[in-house]
Amino acid sequence: MMRHAETEAAVADEKNGRPVKISVRNLTKRFGDLLVLDDLTFNIHANEFVCVVGPTGCGKTTFLNCLTRIYEPTSGDLLIDNASADPQKHNISFVFQEPSAFPWLTVEENLAYGLKIKRVAKGEIERRVNQILDLMGLQQFRKSYPGELSVSIEQRVIIGRSFAMRPDLLLMDEPYGQMDVKVRFYLEDEVIRLWKELGSTIVFITHNIEEAVYLAERVIILSNKPACIKEELVLDLPRPRNIAGSEFIQYRKYITDKIKWW
Amino acid sequence: MALDDNALKIKLREWKDKQRRDDLKYLGIGAASLLAFLLFWQMAVKTGLANERTLPAPSAIFETFLDKLTDPDPDGNTLGTNIFASLQVSLSGFFAALVIGIPLGLCMGWWTYADRFLRPIFELIRPVPPIAWIPLVVVWMGVGLKAKALIIFFTTFVPCVINSYTGIRLTNQTLINVSKTFGAKNFEIFHKVGIPSAMPMVFAGVRVALGSSWSTLVAAEMLAASAGLGYMIQYGRNVARADIVIVGMLTIGLVGAFLAAMLQFVEKRFLKWKTTR
């Protein structure tokens, strides 16, 4: 009942009629002699939710930083809609591990920040900011500064800021790493809701396997450094997923074993 | 809900009352210390412990202060004229330093080329005491307002540059990366992320600069001056009027404190995100 391999994922998505949105081709990154990413190749389809898991220190963050061009890959490329990814041309959004709201901007200014950089028309910015404020339940905080908010609300602002971009590609790097279980569950449901509502394409990095199984349509398992793709796993569990269900636990155990036995 | 609101309001009022009582208490303690100091001083002079000619009693100084408000003797200007002359010198030097020093520091902190190019000159000039410039400045621009303002400029310029530089250097890399992934160009990141994040440090530098601009005043007014608080102090020394010297010192202190308070007011406005924490 477990279906593996990229070909099967591709077949499944052809059935859904989702075109390939992002194509990673032989992505390799070296820092001097240290090989961090070793020849990664995979596709992500439009409106897909992919989780990337792997052992700590395997190069997950480096992988994301290559996708956003904070680092230039040593070789290989990342294509968005068949063009080499370029933050100034494409619409890429990134939710970082650390809190990254601008402390000198109010909540609504934070939400509008990326849209202003993209020179989106004023009326449209206002409309989208309002939509996000509603979706994330942030209306009452719109004039507050991040320093006046709790960490979990600040994280909601950051996630909202990324979704407001309507990104071609939304990258999330362990965004809930520092949250307690209750807040995490809440924000996980939030991210699924936004994903369905806005139809974004998401790559979500986590070392929390339960989180990956809860969120992903497809999980990419990375090996220990130098990271290569160990396996791709399509999860076709219905939503909302039951973390105590037997299938859920089976998937979780399977992925845990894969990460454990390198 | 309404009941809760009321209860909250009462609590808030209680808390505010307590704050006000506390504020008053601490103000009282501060005033008491000042009063005790003045009293001790007055006693020391009146009992002959200190010489009245070299250290006048506070009451005498207060009298001189009131006199100086209207009386131009002995230095030829009323206190108001002196304050105005000094403010003109120190503020023109101070603002010139802000306008040049802050952008310079910010650019040096952001662009490595600017840093490498300008740093050697800056490091060479930085340790030179501002007073050492006096002979040269006199040759260049005489002894007028410009010359004195330039001396002040040299003092205030350094903290402006250093703090702006350090401030922008401390910009959180994550915030820069956020902007990069949104597709911002380097200059846009500089003015949208670098500058605002450097502002608290810049203001700290401005505060230091304001303090030093005011304290170099006496030195700057050693150049032939005809008015100013520094000049008044010099004059008081020449005619052996300790009370005039002390009035000059106190006035410098008071005006300095007033300027610092004004700056704090501006800072609160500017850095609302910081102070509402």
Chain A interface mutation, best of B168, B172, B178, highest count of A Cβ atoms under 10 Å: B178
Q: What are the tokens at A119?
A: 């020179």
Say if residues A121 and A96 touch (Cβ distance below 8 Å): no
Task: Look at residue A262 and tell me whether its pLDDT is greater than 50.
Answer: no
Q: Which residues of chain B have pLDDT under 50?
A: 1, 277
Instruction: Tell me which H or E stretch contains A218.
Output: strand A218-222
Q: Among A166, A188, A220, identify where a domain stops.
A: A166
Q: Do A114 and B182 touch (CB under 8 A)?
A: yes
Q: Looking at chain B, which residue has its C-alpha nearest residue A90? A: B183
∠ Cα A205 A174 A61 (to 5°) = 60
Residues A53 and A18 in one domain: yes
pLDDT at residue number B74: 79
Closest CA of chain A from B245, distance in Å: 46
- In B82-236, beta strands by DSSP E: none
Mean pLDDT of the region A47-59: 84
- The CATH number covering residue A248 comes to 3.40.50.300
Residues A221 and A211 in one domain: yes
Mean pLDDT of the region A91-118: 89
Task: Look at residue A9 and tell me whether its pLDDT is greater than 60.
Answer: no
Say if residues A59 and A224 touch (Cβ distance below 8 Å): no
Residues A63 and A28 in one domain: yes
Query: How is residue A228 annotated by DSSP?
Result: -
Say if residues B270 and B199 touch (Cβ distance below 8 Å): yes
Q: Among A166, A186, A210, identify where a domain stops.
A: A166
**Dist CA A203 CA B242 (whole Å):** 77
Q: Do A102 and B188 touch (CB under 8 A)?
A: no
Provide the total of helices (H) and of strands (E) in chain B, helices listed first. 13, 0
- Nearest-by-Cβ selection for A118 from B172, B182, B276: B182
Closest CA of chain A from B97, distance in Å: 25
Put simply, whether A94 touches B (Cβ < 8 Å) is yes
Q: Do A147 and B277 touch (CB under 8 A)?
A: yes
Q: Looking at chain A, which residue has its C-alpha nearest residue B197? A: A104
pLDDT at residue number B220: 82
C-alpha of B226 from chain center: 24
**SS3 category, A202:** strand
- Alpha carbon distances (Å) from B135 to B68, B138, B151, B185: 32, 5, 10, 47
pLDDT at residue number A8: 52
pLDDT at residue number B187: 93
Q: What are the tokens at A63?
A: 């992988």
∠ Cα B45 B48 B50 (to 5°) = 55
Residues A154 and A240 in one domain: no
Q: What is the mean pLDDT of chain A?
A: 83
**Dist CA A153 CA A160 (whole Å):** 10
- Structural domain containing residue A238: 1-91+167-262
A75 forms beta bridges with A28
Put simply, whether B174 touches A (Cβ < 8 Å) is yes
Residues A82 and A127 in one domain: no
Residues A84 and A186 in one domain: yes
Give CA torsion, residues A186, A192, A197, A198, to 10 deg: 110
In chain B, residues with a C-beta closer than 8 Å to the C-beta of A148 are 276-277
pLDDT digits (tens, 9 = 90+) for A124-161: 999 999 988 988 888 899 899 998 888 888 888 998 89
Residues A56 and A171 in one domain: yes
Q: What is the mean pLDDT of chain B?
A: 88
Mean pLDDT of the region A90-111: 89
Query: How is residue A227 annotated by DSSP?
Result: B
Put simply, whether A72 touches B (Cβ < 8 Å) is no
Q: Do B178 and A100 touch (CB under 8 A)?
A: yes
The percent of residues above 90 in pLDDT, for chain A, comes to 12
In chain B, residues with a C-beta closer than 8 Å to the C-beta of A93 are 181-182
Put simply, whether B272 touches A (Cβ < 8 Å) is yes
pLDDT at residue number A113: 93
- A11 phi and psi angles, rounded to 5 deg: -60, -45
Say if residues B95 and B127 touch (Cβ distance below 8 Å): no
Confidence of residue A3 (pLDDT cuts 50, 70, 90): very low
Q: Among A166, A189, A204, identify where a domain stops.
A: A166
Residues A147 and A244 in one domain: no
Residue where the block lists tokens 């004195």 = B148
ipTM exceeds 0.90, yes or no: no
Residues A131 and A233 in one domain: no
- A236 phi and psi angles, rounded to 5 deg: -110, 45
Instruction: Tell me which H or E stretch contains A243.
Output: none
Nearest Cα to Cα of residue A99 among A157, A171, A180, A140: A157
Residues A141 and A194 in one domain: no
Put simply, whether A185 touches B (Cβ < 8 Å) is no
Q: What are the tokens at A89?
A: 């041309």
**Dist CA A97 CA A175 (whole Å):** 5
- Selected residues 222-241 of chain B with any CB under 8 Å from a CB in chain A: none
Task: Look at residue A1 and tell me whether its pLDDT is greater than 50.
Answer: no
Nearest Cα to Cα of residue B105 among B247, B29, B211, B204: B204
Query: How is residue A63 annotated by DSSP?
Result: H
In chain B, residues with a C-beta closer than 8 Å to the C-beta of A68 are 177, 180-181
**On the CB side of B224, how many CA atoms lie within 13 Å of its CA?**
6
CB contacts < 8 A, A to B, total 72
pLDDT at residue number B201: 93
Long-range contacts formed by A82-91: CB under 8 A, 24+ apart: A82/A23, A85/A169, A86/B183, A87/B180, A87/B181, A87/B182, A87/B183, A88/B183, A88/B185, A89/B183, A90/A168, A90/A169, A90/B183, A91/A118, A91/A165, A91/A166, A91/A167, A91/A168, A91/A169, A91/B183
Q: Looking at chain B, which residue has its C-alpha nearest residue A144? A: B273
Residues A180 and A236 in one domain: yes
In chain A, residues with a C-beta closer than 8 Å to the C-beta of B179 are 117
Please provide the distance, in angstroms rounded to a whole number, between the alpha carbons at the two ends of chain B. Answer: 27
Query: What is the layout of strands, in order, in the sheet containing A49-53?
Result: A3-4, A229-234, A218-222, A49-53, A202-205, A169-173, A92-95
Say if residues A69 and A260 touch (Cβ distance below 8 Å): no
pLDDT at residue number B3: 61
Say if residues A107 and A157 touch (Cβ distance below 8 Å): yes
Helices marked H in A53-199 — which ranges?
Answer: 60-67, 107-117, 122-135, 151-164, 181-198
pLDDT digits (tens, 9 = 90+) for B22-32: 999 999 999 99
**Dist CA A22 CA A79 (whole Å):** 6
**Dist CA A198 CA A64 (whole Å):** 22
The percent of residues above 70 in pLDDT, for chain A, comes to 93
Domain count, chain A: 2
Residues A183 and A248 in one domain: yes
Higher pLDDT, A69 or B177: B177
**Dist CA A180 CA A158 (whole Å):** 17
pLDDT digits (tens, 9 = 90+) for A165-217: 888 888 888 888 777 788 788 888 888 888 888 888 899 988 888 888 888 88
In chain B, residues with a C-beta closer than 8 Å to the C-beta of A91 are 183
Say if residues A191 and A159 touch (Cβ distance below 8 Å): yes
Instruction: Tell me which H or E stretch contains B237.
Output: helix B229-238
